[in-house]
């Protein structure tokens, strides 16, 4: 049986095989249910890097690039994910149920310790517990007829909880003026209904979307267990009447082989279902097929209790990982600062000379025999006469004699002839 709800476009909607109505600027309040409808209305639309031979001046070390930001982001998303599981995926909810309701409830045993179901209305609902997932073997067929007026810029919908394989055939007869039409939409979930009410003229907002006038037939098949809405939207200036006859084939979970059966009574208002760690428990929430003492709609609250030890372990691991990463980065920075290589101001003697560092000869003395082959590489690149006996600060390049270096520094463009980096000072090198 359908539960009715409705509202104006841009608002909220409701019902759970219940019907409703409302004004465009769609929004109507909703709740879970299997098959039943009753209408209601609401209201209207509406880094620069240095070269390999450059001299570095300061900094804490090379391993700092990605580790710390990545670890912080990882911790942040871990905490956000756990909060989402507590307050989003397994948040408490209220379910509005009609006749022939059959909804399977389960939870991840690692994160959930127990499930509590509280009766909020008349007794009559029954809960079955299974150690294995029950089969969708049973079914029920029934018809519903409705004669409703949809005001201008309003919507009206019927809410159903449908299991996979359930189907609905809608026979409609729309009474309006001239070329006026209604929008017929099949929608999944409350969020989907809210999206559709904000843009009811957009087909992509619904699973199936039609413009209808006159009479006709539309079919819908549920591809998974979920809450579904059959919604009519009136985007015209005048009110429109629609007569619908819905033929519903609803698939139900079999209760055969249940480990336990628990029924709500005037004395039993709460049922607590423990969740065994590392074991998949399934609980089936059902309602009668016939009204009970005049009641054909029931309401329960489903409350999930978190297994906090799991979250504390996860947060502890994240905290330990952050401390370990920070310790590694701090220690690595100290080692880097202690062992980083810098160009020596005094060149080592003879055979211990640093590779690539030219050895200059004091003025007035000739170069030792056998070193003439290296003279061209050791001479100033500007005057090609004096040895390379200075370097530029801050880049560290050694390519000129001290006199030429001073001339370059005092010129109009005081930049290194190798890397074109501005020169702050020319440092004299005294070779031993």
* Distance separating alpha carbons of residues 307 and 310, to the nearest angstrom: 6
What pLDDT is stored for residue 329 in this prediction?
67
Whether residue 30 contacts residue 19, with contact meaning beta carbons closer than 8 Å, is answered with: no
* Distance separating alpha carbons of residues 431 and 360, to the nearest angstrom: 7
The predicted-structure confidence for 72-115, as pLDDT tens digits, reads as follows: 666 666 666 656 555 555 677 889 999 999 999 988 777 788 89
What pLDDT is stored for residue 411 in this prediction?
85
What pLDDT is stored for residue 5 in this prediction?
76
Whether 162 shows a pLDDT value over 90: the answer reads yes
The predicted-structure confidence for 368-415, as pLDDT tens digits, reads as follows: 544 554 567 788 988 888 899 999 999 989 999 999 999 998 888 888
The predicted-structure confidence for 324-349, as pLDDT tens digits, reads as follows: 777 776 665 555 455 544 445 444 44
Q: Which CATH architecture fits 347-432? A: 2-Layer Sandwich (3.30)
What pLDDT is stored for residue 68 in this prediction?
54
What pLDDT is stored for residue 414 in this prediction?
87
- What is the overall mean pLDDT for the chain? 78
Whether residue 96 contacts residue 15, with contact meaning beta carbons closer than 8 Å, is answered with: yes
The predicted-structure confidence for 179-219, as pLDDT tens digits, reads as follows: 889 999 999 999 999 999 999 999 999 999 999 999 999 99
Whether 156 shows a pLDDT value over 50: the answer reads yes
What pLDDT is stored for residue 299 in this prediction?
94
What pLDDT is stored for residue 30 in this prediction?
37
Identify the weakest region by mean pLDDT among 121-130, 219-228, 343-352: 343-352
Sorted by sequence, the CB contacts under 8 Å of residue 142 that are 6+ apart come out as 1, 35, 100, 248, 250
* Distance separating alpha carbons of residues 186 and 208, to the nearest angstrom: 5
Whether 244 shows a pLDDT value over 50: the answer reads yes
What pLDDT is stored for residue 77 in this prediction?
64
Whether 40 shows a pLDDT value over 50: the answer reads no
Sorted by sequence, the CB contacts under 8 Å of residue 268 that are 6+ apart come out as 119, 123, 262
Whether 247 shows a pLDDT value over 80: the answer reads yes
Whether 171 shows a pLDDT value over 50: the answer reads yes
> Six-digit token pair at 377?
């590489």
3-class SS of residue 146: strand
The alpha-carbon radius of gyration of the chain (Å, integer) is 39
What pLDDT is stored for residue 201 in this prediction?
93
Whether 362 shows a pLDDT value over 70: the answer reads no
Residue-range domain boundaries for the chain: 1-342, 347-432
Whether residue 192 contacts residue 206, with contact meaning beta carbons closer than 8 Å, is answered with: yes
Whether 163 shows a pLDDT value over 80: the answer reads yes
């Amino acid at each position: 049986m359908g539960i009715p709800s409705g509202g104006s476009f841009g608002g909220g909607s409701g019902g759970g095989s219940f019907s409703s109505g409302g004004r465009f600027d769609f929004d109507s309040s909703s709740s879970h249910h299997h098959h039943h409808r009753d209408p209601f209305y609401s209201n209207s639309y509406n880094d620069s890097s240095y070269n390999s031979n450059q001299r570095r001046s300061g900094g804490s070390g090379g391993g700092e690039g990605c580790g710390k930001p990545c670890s912080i982001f990882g911790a942040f998303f871990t905490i956000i994910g756990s909060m989402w599981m507590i307050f989003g995926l397994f948040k408490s909810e209220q379910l509005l149920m009609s006749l022939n309701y059959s909804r399977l409830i389960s939870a991840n045993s690692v994160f959930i310790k127990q499930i509590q179901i509280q009766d909020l209305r008349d007794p009559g609902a029954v809960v079955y517990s299974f150690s294995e997932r029950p089969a969708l073997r049973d079914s029920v067929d029934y018809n519903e007829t409705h004669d409703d007026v949809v005001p201008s810029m309003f919507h009206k919908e019927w809410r159903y909880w449908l299991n996979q394989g359930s189907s609905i055939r809608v026979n409609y007869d729309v009474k309006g003026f001239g070329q006026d039409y209604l929008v017929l939409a099949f929608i999944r979930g409350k969020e989907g209904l809210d999206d559709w009410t904000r843009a009811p003229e957009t087909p992509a907002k619904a699973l199936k979307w039609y413009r209808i006038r006159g009479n006709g037939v539309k079919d819908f098949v549920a591809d998974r267990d979920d809450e579904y809405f059959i919604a009519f939207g009136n985007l015209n200036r005048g009110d429109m009447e629609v007569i619908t006859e819905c033929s519903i084939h609803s698939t139900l979970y079999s209760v055969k082989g249940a480990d336990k059966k628990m029924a709500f009574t005037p004395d039993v208002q709460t049922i607590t279902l423990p969740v065994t760690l590392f074991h998949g428990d399934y609980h089936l929430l059902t309602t009668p097929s016939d009204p009970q003492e005049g009641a054909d709609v029931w309401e329960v609250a489903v409350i999930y209790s978190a297994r906090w030890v799991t979250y504390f372990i996860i947060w502890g691991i994240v905290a330990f990982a952050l401390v370990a990463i920070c310790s590694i980065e701090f220690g690595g920075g100290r080692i880097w600062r202690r062992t980083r290589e810098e160009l020596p101001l005094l060149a080592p003697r003879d055979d211990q000379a640093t590779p690539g560092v030219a050895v200059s000869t004091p003025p007035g003395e000739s170069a030792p025999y056998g070193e003439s082959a290296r003279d061209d590489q050791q001479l100033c690149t500007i005057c090609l006469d004096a040895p390379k006996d200075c370097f530029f600060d801050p880049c560290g390049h050694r390519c000129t004699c001290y006199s030429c270096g001073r001339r370059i520094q005092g010129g109009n463009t005081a930049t290194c002839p190798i890397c074109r980096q501005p020169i702050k000072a020319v440092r004299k090198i005294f070779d031993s």
